[in-house]
Amino acid sequence: MAKKKCTDKKCPIHGTLSTRGRTFDGVVVSDKMHSTVVVRRDYVQYVPKYERYKKAGSQVPAHNPECIGAKVGDRVRISECRPLSKTKNFVVVEVL
């Protein structure tokens, strides 16, 4: 779970942020923003016209607490929470 103690109030472990709703696993593709990572979530989608499946994916910005500290290439679990900013509605819960 957490590597160290943190003072981040938006941390689901040490802070007051509660998580609810959907939980996803994905890979961190960017960590350039301050306390934010972009997580890529891959899935398979059915195309009825061709009766085939295609690979698809979506990128989700998520809050990265300082005690978790996920880096590019890490496989992480993200969980839905209240809106933290204009685009962030998820928080990194653990590094898998």
pLDDT tens for the chain, 96 residues: list them.
Answer: 556 677 777 888 887 888 889 999 999 999 999 989 999 999 999 999 999 999 999 999 999 988 888 899 999 999 999 999 999 999 999 999
CA 60 to chain centre: 6
